[in-house]
A and B are shown apart, each in its own frame.
Chain A
Amino acid sequence: MSAMARKICMLGDFGVGKTSLVSRYVRNTFSDRYLTTVGVKVDSKEVIRDGRDPLKLVVWDIAGKSALDALNMSYLRGASGLLLVADGTREQTLRTAIDLLLQSRSLLSGAQAVLLVNKLDLVERWEVAPSTLVELRKTLPVIETSALSGDGVDQAFVELARSLDP
């Protein structure tokens, strides 16, 4: 197997836009129809990194849950990075994303994490306050994204790729 491939997992509550973010990143497509993910979908894309070898990101789009069960844990095994996804219009999903990160630490203590606050196109309906994001940025990278418009999507995946070794 290629040494330059890394597994990353999308984690977050249901309906926050994980599948849409992967579609936007990997295929540059978007559908506004909500379709629940059951199990896992695996995609991959190569990332060019400045001054370093290209990295193949193997992206695991895991079904949305508010807590990690045994099944989710089995999907997480072997992941080097986490993309935590929250929906800016539902503040509760931000707390869920943080909870999922804390739960995953028992299995993936060294995994890198980036927080994506999605649905930037609906920013006028956001419940998440800017001051909350300022506080969160002190502990992990936070990127506002829109799977619909593509804003911030590439940046989020590249940000995580940069933080991965080698």
Chain B
Amino acid sequence: MKDAPELADFSPEVERHIARFLFERAQPLLLEFDSAWHLINLQGDANRFGFDVDNAQAGARQLQDLFIGLSHDESVDLPFVQMPNGRSAHVHLLVAGDGYRVLLLDAQGEHDRQQAQQQTSNEASLIGYQKGKAIAQLRQIRSELEQQRARLQDANALKNALIATLSHDFRTPLTSVFGYLHLLETRVEPEPDAETRHALRAIRRNANYLFTLAENLLEYARADTRSSLLAPVETDLQAMQEDLDGMFRPLAVEQGLDFGIELERVDETTPVLDELRVRQILVNLISNAVRYTHHGEVKARLAWKDAALLIEVRDTGIGIGEDYRERVFEPFNKVGQAAGSGAGLGLSIVKRLVRQMHGTLDLQSTLGKGSRFRIVLPGLALAKPADAPLLSSDAAGGTQQRVRSVLVVDDDPDITHLLEVMLTDLGFRVRSVGEATLAVEQALANPPDVLLVDVELPGLSGNTAVFRLRAKGYRGHIVTLSATPTEEARKVALNAGANQYLTKPINIDQLARAMQRAVSAA
């Protein structure tokens, strides 16, 4: 392979062609200076590089700036120098014996190509850097969010554990209070004196109120409302009306209010509702109405019509401004708090309970004139007993006469005693044990007609005991009793082998129905 050709290698004709081509592209401008840098000659298109031909000396001085600090006894090449008019040129300082020559060659085309290329590359690099930085920030944010989520999950688990504990710790003693109250109410015979009647009513009213308040807080704390289990029971609306009247009338009368709760029964069917939740709604609405009405009236109406319960609570109180209509249903709202008392929780609970029961809620209010809450709750179906394992049919002929046996398993002596009394009253022969292992042994050795077992037992849990019994072929009817009113807890108990799931506090009617169902199945 031959070396790159020298200019002299070409014929004169080719040489001339190359020279002409390069000359046309470079459009050279030659400036000649004497030894004192005075311009003495100029050849070429000065305008092309932004030099004023009429004032060439000024342009020449700008060129001199390019050579500041350099020795002038050697040639200098400066590529891509921006000229006064912005055009790019290659600048060459050529040293002549008696002065200097500065040669400018047009480099704009090459400059533009390089600039476009460099611009793209630099912008890509800057964008890449910003992108990398953004990705790193996003990673950091994601990591922080994951940590935050883990902390929230921990906190949520702790909250759930706390709710479960609180729920149990509230419901268990209230079971005793309500149960023994019931016993007292039924056994103070034949007609209690006024003072005793007043005392019993006061205990019931305040226990009810305490229970409702506790339920409000627990209801609020339950993160997943879907887990709340509806408990349909045949509801005595008249008893509810009387209870609520007893609870609020004294306070309303003391405030000089015209107070009344009206009950209307259009539909002759027995209402089946989640009584506890309905009561919770009414207590909250009436309690608010009495609290925020300083003169005039507070009236409530319950109507069972077309298999639905209509609740209407109206007052002539302070009313709710239009701007606050939505906000009053938010938990811990400032409207309720600013109005004087309360946590601002009641109406948010009402709204949630209505939603849980697939009902509707309507609020009409005029500031300074009063409010009217109107709620419609569809009736529920009575819970059917879960499919039970095949029960012994040996008693099929003589169920009406034979005294049925129940084995009660509960570690709380008060609850155990209460159940013993109630079940004896219902006609059962009752045995009781305080822990699950013993219950398994006794149930296998001497099977009762019904096993009534508490879930929350020390050591072996009630559910585990039920599971063990079923695993050993136990086929008797089992009713599980728990302080956890959630669908999940119900499923766990039924999956373990229970036939029915009851929640505390025990309603005597519910218990009676459950036992009736158990006996019928047996």
Contact = CB atoms under 8 A, between A and B. Distances in A.
Contacts of A158: none
Given A58-B65, A79-B69, A40 B122 contact: no
A40 B69 contact: no
A71 interface: yes
Contacts of B37: 1
B68 A5 contact: yes
Nearest to A64: B122
B80 A6 contact: no
Contacts of B69: 6-7, 77-80
A75 B77 CA distance: 9
Residue with the highest number of chain A CB atoms closer than 10 Å, among B65, B78, B79, B123: B65
A58 B80 contact: no
Contacts, number: 70
A74 B118 CA distance: 20
A74 B65 CA distance: 15
Contact of A77 (B70, B118, B129): B70
Contacts of B114: 38
Q: Is the interface of A mostly helix, strand, loop or mixed?
A: loop
Nearest to B89: A39
Contacts of B126: 15, 34
A38 B88 contact: yes
Given A14-B122, A15-B126, A39 B65 contact: no
A46 B66 CA distance: 16
Contact of A1 (B68, B111, B118, B119): B68
B324 interface: no
B57 interface: no
Contacts of B26: none
Interface residues of A, number: 26
B82 interface: yes
Residue with the highest number of chain B CB atoms closer than 10 Å, among A42, A64, A71: A42
Nearest to A41: B82
Residue with the highest number of chain B CB atoms closer than 10 Å, among A38, A41, A63, A77: A38
B516 interface: no
Contacts of B111: 38-39
A2 B310 CA distance: 102
Contacts of A63: 118
B68 A7 contact: yes
A23 interface: no
Nearest to B116: A36
A137 interface: no
A88 B79 CA distance: 31
Interface string B419-460: 000000000000000000000000000000000000000000
A36 B124 CA distance: 12
B118 A36 contact: yes
A41 B81 CA distance: 6
B23 interface: no
B68 A6 contact: yes
B160 interface: no
Nearest to B63: A42
A64 to B, nearest CB: 8
Interface in B61-88: 64-70, 76-82, 88
Contacts of A1: 37, 64, 67-68
Contacts of B68: 1, 5-7, 58, 78
A42 B80 contact: no
Interface in B115-138: 115, 118-119, 122-123, 125-126, 129
A90 interface: yes
Contacts of B76: 74, 77
A45 B82 CA distance: 17
Interface string A83-125: 0000000100000000000000000000000000000000000
Interface string A1-12: 100011100000
B67 A78 contact: yes
B442 to A, nearest CB: 74
B177 to A, nearest CB: 62
Contacts of A90: 129
B65 A15 contact: no
Contact of B65 (A34, A42, A71): A42
Nearest to B123: A34
A41 B78 CA distance: 11
Contacts of A36: 115, 118-119, 122
Interface in A33-75: 34-36, 38-42, 44, 58, 63-64, 71, 74-75
B82 A40 contact: yes
Contacts of A7: 65, 68-69
A89 B182 CA distance: 76
A40 B80 contact: yes
B102 to A, nearest CB: 13
Nearest to B79: A39
Contacts of B78: 40, 74-75
Interface in B41-73: 64-70
Contacts of B82: 39-42
B470 to A, nearest CB: 66
Contacts of B107: 39
A2 B415 CA distance: 109
A165 B490 CA distance: 92
A36 B82 CA distance: 13
B170 to A, nearest CB: 52
Given A15-B122, A36-B118, A36-B122, A44 B65 contact: yes
Contacts of A41: 81-82
Interface in A18-42: 34-36, 38-42
Contacts of A35: 115, 119
A88 B126 CA distance: 14
Interface of B: 37, 64-70, 76-82, 88, 107, 111, 114-115, 118-119, 122-123, 125-126, 129
5 contacts: A35-B119, A39-B80, A39-B81, A58-B68, A75-B78
Given A58-B68, A74-B76, A74-B77, 13 more contacts: A1-B64, A6-B69, A7-B65, A7-B69, A36-B118, A38-B88, A38-B114, A40-B82, A42-B82, A44-B65, A74-B79, A78-B70, A80-B69
A-B complex: 5 closest residue pairs judged by Cβ atoms:
A39-B80, A78-B69, A41-B82, A78-B70, A36-B119
